[in-house]
Amino acid sequence: MAESRTFQRFALRTHNTIEEMKGKGTERMNSAFDEAHKATIEAASKAQSSSAGTKSGRPQPPLQGVAGFFSAFAKEVKKDLGLGK
Protein backbone atom coordinates (compact mmCIF):
# COMPACT_ATOMS: atom_id res chain seq x y z
CA MET A 1 0.00 0.00 0.00
CA ALA A 2 2.89 2.40 0.78
CA GLU A 3 4.14 1.87 -2.77
CA SER A 4 0.84 3.05 -4.24
CA ARG A 5 1.14 6.43 -6.01
CA THR A 6 -2.38 7.36 -4.92
CA PHE A 7 -1.56 6.67 -1.28
CA GLN A 8 1.71 8.62 -1.51
CA ARG A 9 -0.11 11.65 -3.00
CA PHE A 10 -2.74 11.41 -0.27
CA ALA A 11 -0.08 11.21 2.44
CA LEU A 12 1.87 14.15 0.99
CA ARG A 13 -1.21 16.35 0.64
CA THR A 14 -2.30 15.48 4.17
CA HIS A 15 1.14 16.28 5.54
CA ASN A 16 1.28 19.63 3.71
CA THR A 17 -2.22 20.57 4.88
CA ILE A 18 -1.40 19.78 8.51
CA GLU A 19 1.87 21.73 8.37
CA GLU A 20 0.02 24.72 6.86
CA MET A 21 -2.62 24.57 9.61
CA LYS A 22 0.10 24.43 12.29
CA GLY A 23 1.76 27.52 10.86
CA LYS A 24 -1.49 29.47 10.71
CA GLY A 25 -2.37 28.42 14.27
CA THR A 26 1.01 29.56 15.56
CA GLU A 27 0.64 32.92 13.81
CA ARG A 28 -2.85 33.43 15.25
CA MET A 29 -1.70 32.50 18.74
CA ASN A 30 1.27 34.86 18.56
CA SER A 31 -0.90 37.73 17.33
CA ALA A 32 -3.41 37.09 20.13
CA PHE A 33 -0.60 37.17 22.72
CA ASP A 34 0.74 40.39 21.19
CA GLU A 35 -2.71 42.02 21.37
CA ALA A 36 -3.17 40.91 24.99
CA HIS A 37 0.28 42.24 25.89
CA LYS A 38 -0.46 45.57 24.21
CA ALA A 39 -3.81 45.86 26.01
CA THR A 40 -2.15 45.08 29.33
CA ILE A 41 0.49 47.75 28.85
CA GLU A 42 -2.12 50.32 27.84
CA ALA A 43 -4.28 49.44 30.84
CA ALA A 44 -1.34 49.66 33.22
CA SER A 45 -0.29 53.05 31.90
CA LYS A 46 -3.90 54.24 32.02
CA ALA A 47 -4.25 53.00 35.60
CA GLN A 48 -1.06 54.76 36.69
CA SER A 49 -2.00 58.04 35.05
CA SER A 50 -5.58 57.94 36.37
CA SER A 51 -4.52 57.14 39.94
CA ALA A 52 -1.85 59.86 39.94
CA GLY A 53 -3.84 62.57 38.18
CA THR A 54 -7.42 62.31 39.48
CA LYS A 55 -8.25 63.01 43.08
CA SER A 56 -11.98 63.61 42.63
CA GLY A 57 -14.36 62.11 45.14
CA ARG A 58 -15.54 59.29 42.87
CA PRO A 59 -13.59 56.05 42.51
CA GLN A 60 -12.70 54.83 39.03
CA PRO A 61 -14.47 51.65 37.88
CA PRO A 62 -12.22 48.63 37.46
CA LEU A 63 -10.90 47.75 34.02
CA GLN A 64 -12.81 45.09 32.11
CA GLY A 65 -11.62 42.08 30.13
CA VAL A 66 -8.06 40.84 29.75
CA ALA A 67 -6.56 44.22 30.64
CA GLY A 68 -8.54 44.28 33.88
CA PHE A 69 -7.45 40.78 34.78
CA PHE A 70 -3.75 41.52 34.24
CA SER A 71 -4.02 44.82 36.10
CA ALA A 72 -5.66 43.16 39.12
CA PHE A 73 -3.21 40.27 38.96
CA ALA A 74 -0.24 42.67 38.97
CA LYS A 75 -1.69 44.53 42.00
CA GLU A 76 -2.10 41.27 43.94
CA VAL A 77 1.43 40.14 43.14
CA LYS A 78 2.80 43.51 44.29
CA LYS A 79 0.85 43.21 47.55
CA ASP A 80 2.11 39.66 48.10
CA LEU A 81 5.69 40.77 47.53
CA GLY A 82 5.28 43.82 49.77
CA LEU A 83 5.83 46.25 46.89
CA GLY A 84 2.31 47.73 46.71
CA LYS A 85 0.40 50.08 48.94
Per-residue pLDDT of 30-85, as tens digits, reads 888 888 888 888 888 877 776 555 556 777 777 888 888 888 888 888 888 877 55
Domain span at residue 32? 5-51+62-81
- 29 part of a folded domain: yes
pLDDT of residue 54: 52
Q: What pLDDT score does 13 carry? A: 96
How many domains does the chain divide into?
Answer: 1
Residue 76 lies in a domain: yes
Distance separating alpha carbons of residues 45 and 37, to the nearest angstrom? 12
* Cβ(63)–Cβ(41) below 8 Å: no
pTM here is 0.42
24 in any annotated domain: yes
57 within some domain: no
